[in-house]
Structure 1
Amino acid sequence: MAVRTAHPPDTVAARRPRRVRRRRRVPAAFYAMVLPAFLLFFVFHTVPVLQGVFYSFTNYAGYGEWDFVGLDNYAAMLLDDRIRASYLFTFRFAIVATILVNVLALAIALGLHARIRFRTTLRAVFFLPNVLAVLVVGYIFKYLFGTSLPALGESLGIDALSTSILADPELAWLGVVVLGVWQATAFAVILYLAGLQTIPGDLYEAAAIDGAGRWRQFRSITFPLIAAFFTINMVLSLKNFLMVFDHVVALTEGGPGTSTESVSMVIYRGGFQGGEFAYQTANAVAYFVVIVVVSVLQLRVLRRREVSL
């Protein structure tokens, strides 16, 4: 009777093919192609940002001599009523506009995703506002709010429309909201349409067989599966609206008074027109930190609702 002898562990291990992980060397040509873009970004973006952070700790007026003042600019911001009012207006505008944009964009995307005629043409029509210049569209909306709507209100005997809302300190911000929502909805619609196309139709067929209605299908299938696109839209919308500038310039120029001054407009006016270069640079640095913190918190909260197939 033959007896099989076990191979020593060393012999068995020696017979196994060894997987050698070789580190891939990146060709030098790749670095050569990236280097010009990196240098341009570093010189025209990173260096000015670092300079701005440094000048925020000085009393530099944009010209002449300057002295180091430490955190005095940041401390003065906390007591500045104009800056406080600009933050309140900007966040109120951004939150309301973000909610409206995502509600309207999701409703439009659901309608376009359904089996309707001229779907491709309607997609192009709804995306058109995103390619138009904000200033040009803003001046058109300014004419509508200041001339067309009041004339229409007078002819119809509607007192609420007989005067321009842009002249009312309490209502002027609503005009900025209308303009911002009208333009930003286009891009959000495209993102939601991309998300809806990733959902298999079999899920809706199975849900319909089980007796699920339209609302139940949306709540249990559609929205959970496009939650990632909802997160992207919410973060991008709020970030862009927090940096609102062109909309305000075209419609109200910050008025009436300073009721619609955004943070970006205060930074521009004070830093480039009011001789407060270092002070408004500190405002810009602080606002940058605020936007980063808000965006990170948004991502952490909204990502909890995301699911995958």
Structure 2
Amino acid sequence: MSKRMSTYYWMTIPAVLLFFLFLTLPAIQGVYYSFTNYNGFGKTYDFIGLRNYINLFTDNVVGDAYWFTIKFAVVVTIFVNVFSLLIALGLNASIKFRNFFRGIYFLPNILSVLIVGYIFNYLFSNVFTVWGQSLGINALSTNILGNESLAWIGVVIVAVWQSIALNTILYLAGLQTISKDMYEASSLDGAGKWREFWSITFPLIAPFFTINMVLAMKNALMVFDQIVALTNGGPGRATQSISFLIYTGGFEGGEFAYQSANSVIYFIVIAVISILQIRFLQRREMDM
């Protein structure tokens, strides 16, 4: 091994140690505590085997949280990718002030999720309701975040609005890899815009579509900050996500070991969904 390569390896040691100390070690401890009845404080606890994991599958609160999270993630993933692709196609066209609009669309991504959530919380409760009452629109006259059936829609709106930025940038990067000569050749053959999109654009940006789908789904499954800022899991438990349930139950409800087991299952679910997404979408890439 050369002296330069040895130097590179030594330079990575601090990063590896920090990663192990703040990420790997707590994860291992969480798995360990998931087999106990530890309540989060004190030093006394007993090993109870798989009891926590068994109880998770019969807990209606946990089941409702998983249902909300998966429903939320699917809706957000679809809307984020549809809107971000449409915006990217528009920004990639020859329009004036294209770079300015790219900066504007990317702005939500650099804002704090909690700050954005609190701003929208104020808008939903104090601004949109006034507009709805003034315009006579019943749907906007009341705060949807206080409606058990509609509160999740408000969370979806905020999550989609803020998530579109990064996906748009990734789609723009993919669109810029396509040679304009291909579009010129297709136009000479009489292909319309719709045909160009399905025969040229979409197949060539398929790898970027795969990345965006996986990232959007993973981020949506881990939704937490928007829930805290907008609904705090309410009304009732209508918008309680898995990550929010793990936090409140584990650190505030004395269910540290139980929610540690929940977090292990949660990790497995996210990993399985991500792997299935990648395999399915990459197979579609090969078929295009």
Fold in common (TM above 0.5): yes
1:292 aligns with 2:275: no
Give the length in aligned residue pairs: 287
Match in the other structure for 2:6: 28
Matched, 1:39 2:25: no
Question: Is the counterpart of residue 161 in structure 1 residue 140 in structure 2?
Answer: yes
- Alignment of structure 1 residues 1-309 onto 2, 5 Å: 27-64=5-42, 65-306=44-285
Which runs of structure 1 show a deviation greater than 4 angstroms over 4 or more consecutive aligned residues? 23-26
Displacement after TM superposition at 1:193 (Å)? 0.2
Sequence identity (%): 59
Contact 1:224 1:305 in 2 (8 A): no
C-alpha distance after superposition, 1:116-148 (max 9, x if no partner) = 000000000000000000111111111111111
Runs of 5+ consecutive residues of structure 1 not aligned to the other structure: 1-22
Q: How many Å apart are 1:308 and its aligned residue? A: 11
Query: Deviation at 1:27?
Result: 3.0
Structure 1, residues 84-111: CA drift from partner, whole Å, max 9, x if none? 0000101111100110000000000000
C-alpha RMSD over aligned residues: 1.5
Map Cα deviations across residues 179-206 of structure 1 (whole Å, 9 max, x no partner): 0000000000000000000001111111
User: Given the two structures, how large is their TM-score scaled by the length of structure 2?
Assistant: 0.97
SS at match of 2:45: coil
How far did 1:305 drift?
A: 2.3
Uncovered stretches (5+) of structure 2, i.e. residues with no partner: none
**Which whole-Å CA distance do the structure 2 matches of 1:150 and 1:256 have between them?**
18
> In structure 2, what is the Cα distance between the partners aligned to 1:99 and 1:146?
27
Letter in 2 for 1:305: R
- CA distance in structure 2 between the aligned counterparts of 1:178 and 1:71, rounded to whole angstroms: 39
Q: Is the 8 A contact 1:225 1:307 kept in 2?
A: no
The structural deviation recorded for 1:208 is: 0.5
* Higher Rg: 1
